[in-house]
Amino acid sequence: MFRVCLVQKRRYFDSMFLMQVSQRLRAEPGIQEAAVLMGTPANVQILKGLGFSSPELEGAGPDDLVVAVAGASEDQVRQALAKLEGWLQAGRAAAEGAPKTLVQALAHLPEANLAVISLPGWHAGREAKNALEHGLNVFLFSSNVPVEEEVALKRLAQAKGLLVMGPDCGTALVAGVGLGFANAVRRGPVGLIAASGTGAQEFTSLIHRAGSGISHALGTGGRDFSDAVGGLTALTAFSALVEDPATEIIVFLAKPPGPETLARLAAHVRRSPKPVVACFLGVIPERVRREWPGRLTTTIDEAVVATLELLSLPRPPFLSGDPAALAALAEEERKKLLPRQRFVRGIFAGGTFCYQAQLLFHLARVPFRSNAPLSEEYALLNPLRSEGHTLLDMGEEFFTQGRLHPMIDPTLRRERILAEAEDPEVAVLLLDFVLGYNASPDPVGDLLPALQEARERARRRGGDLLLVASVCGTEADPQGFARQVERLENAKVRVFPTQAQAVQFVLTFLGRRA
C-alpha cells in the first residue's frame, strides 16, 4: 500500500465541505483510505494511528489543511491527488455568492426570527450575541463556548424575550421544523425540553412510533441544568410550553440538575397547570428524588411510557420487552463464541446513547471504561485504546474537533470497528444508527462493510462476533426506518427497537441485568 500525507499551511475549509472532498477521493480507482481535514491535535493523532506520518504532519496546526491518502499503487494515489486542487477551488468558488455577514443574510430574509450558528467555539459566542442584538432567537450548534459566555448570552436573551438553544445543542423541533439533527415526527401534544441531542431524537421518535406527536422540542445545551448556568434556557422554554395551547404534557430530558437549579425547576413545576415528566439520565441523587414534584424516570424508554400513560395511550408492543426471550437469545449467541471472547465494545455516534449505556452498566454493576465517563472511576485513559468493556462516545470533542460529527461522517467509527475486531477477547460490538435530517443518507450502508469484515476476522480465529444495534428514527425520515432495520437484520445483526433494550440484551448476554 502506498501512503501520502501532505500539509498546506494556513488554509482553512469548512468541515462539511472537506468531508465531501474526502468522499470523492475515496471513490477514485485504487484508493483505500482518504482524509482531508484540518490539522487539529486530535486529527493528527488519529491519522498517526491509521499509519500516516510525515515531518509536516508533526507541525500541523488547526488552521492547516491536511491531506492523507492511501492506495494500492503510487500512480493511483498521484492521479487522485491531481484532482484535489480542482475540487477545493470549485468549492471555494461556489461559496463566493453566499452572504458573509448576519446583516447580509437578514437582507435576504428580513422576516427571519431565528439564527442557526455552527462555528468554532471561539467565534460562536460573538455571532450569537450579534444575532440576539438583531432580535433573533439562537440555535447554537457550536461547542467549546466558555460557560461565562453562555450565561451572558442567556441573560441577554431573557432580557429581550428570546431563546438561546445551546451551546452544543444538537437537536430542536420548533413548530414541526427540525433544527440540527432532527427526525421527521408528527405534531402532537408533547412538549420536550432536552439538554441532549440524540436523547431528544430518541424520545421524539419513540413518541411518534407510539402514535402520538411533538408540539415543540427545545434544546438547552448540555450545561444548562448545571448550577453554573442555572437552567436559564430550561426555565424560559418551560414558561413558553406552559403558555403554548398545543402542548398538553411537558417533559424534561437531562442529566440530574444541580441543587440550586433543581430548586428553581421544582418551583416552576409545582405551579404548572400541565403534567410534567422528568427523565434525569444518570445516578439520581436522593435530593432529586425527594424534591422533584413531577413524574421521575431514569431511562428514555421509561420517560416515553410515563408520557403515554399521562396521555391515556396504551404501551406499544415495541416497549414491552420479554426477559425470558432475551435470555434464550443470549444463550444462543454465547454458543457461537470462544471462551476467551468476553468484552463488549460500544461504539456510539450519539453521546446520550453512550451515557445511557453507561448508566445501565453501572446499575447492573458491570465495570467499564468510557472516554465520556459517567464518573471519574470509569474514565478511559486513552480514547484510542479500549480497556475491558469500553463504551465510546465517538461524537465527543476529542474525535470531532476540526471534523464532522460521526452521524454525518462515519470514517472514525468504521476505523474503530475494524480496530476492535483485531482484539481476540472482544465478544460484542454495540452500535447505534441515528436517522433524520442532516445525518448521513445511509447510516447502515456506511458501516455494514466494516461490520461484515469485523465478523469475518473473528471467524478466521475460530469464533464469531455478536453485533447488536438500535436504530433511532421514524419511517418518515429520509433514510427510512424499516429499510435501515431490514438491512441490519439481513446482515445477521441483532436489532432492538430502542437503545435501552439493546443495552439490556447485552447485559443479559453478560449474565447481568440493570
Chain segment 447-493, per-residue pLDDT in tens = 999 999 999 999 999 999 999 999 999 999 999 999 999 999 999 99
Type of residue at 21: V
Q: Which SS3 state, helix, strand or coil, does residue 147 take?
A: helix
Residue 431 has pLDDT above 80, yes or no: yes
Contact of 16 with 408, CB cutoff 8 Å:
yes
Same domain, 309 and 326: no
Pick the last residue of a domain from 63, 95, 127.
Answer: 95
Question: What own/partner pairs with CB < 8 Å and gap ≥ 24 does 378-387 have?
Answer: 384/45, 384/46, 384/49, 386/343, 386/345, 386/420, 386/423
The CATH number given to whatever domain includes residue 25 is: 3.30.70
310-320 pLDDT, tens digit each: 999 999 999 98
Position 181 in a domain: yes
Q: Tell me the C-alpha distance between 89 and 30, whole Å.
A: 24
Residue with the bigger pLDDT between 80 and 42: it is: 80
Same domain, 165 and 119: yes
Position 514 in a domain: no
Spell out a b/e string for 121-141, using b for 16 or more CB atoms within 10 Å of the CB, else e.
Answer: beebbebbbbbbeeebbbbbb
* Structure-block grid coordinates of residue 383: 480514547
Q: Tell me the C-alpha distance between 378 and 93, whole Å.
A: 47
The CATH number given to whatever domain includes residue 379 is: 3.40.50.261
Same domain, 66 and 172: no
Tally of domains in the chain: 3
Spell out a b/e string for 72-107, using b for 16 or more CB atoms within 10 Å of the CB, else e.
Answer: eeeebbeebbeebeeebeeeeeeeeeeeeebeebbe
Position 347 in a domain: yes
Q: Tell me the C-alpha distance between 276 and 273, whole Å.
A: 9
Binning pLDDT at 50, 70 and 90, where does residue 321 land? Answer: confident
Q: Which SS3 state, helix, strand or coil, does residue 212 take?
A: coil
| pLDDT number for residue 94 | 60
Pick the last residue of a domain from 95, 121, 149.
Answer: 95
Same domain, 349 and 284: no
* Structure-block grid coordinates of residue 449: 462493510
Q: Tell me the C-alpha distance between 395 and 412, whole Å.
A: 10
Same domain, 67 and 205: no
Position 459 in a domain: yes
Position 441 in a domain: yes
Contact of 115 with 139, CB cutoff 8 Å:
yes
Q: Tell me the C-alpha distance between 265 and 276, whole Å.
A: 11
Same domain, 289 and 401: no
Pick the last residue of a domain from 300, 318, 336.
Answer: 318
Same domain, 419 and 486: yes
Position 138 in a domain: yes
Same domain, 40 and 137: no
| pLDDT number for residue 481 | 98
128-179 pLDDT, tens digit each: 999 999 999 999 998 889 999 999 999 999 999 999 999 999 999 999 999 9
Residue 514 has pLDDT above 70, yes or no: no
User: H/E/C letters for each residue in 53-116?
Assistant: CCHHHHCCCCCCEEEEEEECCHHHHHHHHHCHHHHHHHHHHHHCCCCCCHHHHHHHCCCCCEEE
DSSP annotation of 344 reads: E
* For residues 20-33, average pLDDT: 86
Q: Which domain holds residue 60?
A: 2-95
Other C-beta atoms closer than 10 Å to the C-beta of 360 total 22
357-401 pLDDT, tens digit each: 999 999 999 999 999 999 999 999 999 999 999 999 999 988 887
Query: Phi first, then psi: what are they for 253, rounded to 5°?
Result: -135, 110
Same domain, 364 and 479: yes
Same domain, 139 and 207: yes
Same domain, 287 and 156: yes
Spell out a b/e string for 398-412, using b for 16 or more CB atoms within 10 Å of the CB, else e.
Answer: bbbbbbbbbbbbbbb
Position 263 in a domain: yes
Binning pLDDT at 50, 70 and 90, where does residue 513 land? Answer: low
Same domain, 402 and 487: yes
200-251 pLDDT, tens digit each: 999 999 999 999 999 999 999 999 999 999 999 999 999 999 999 999 999 9
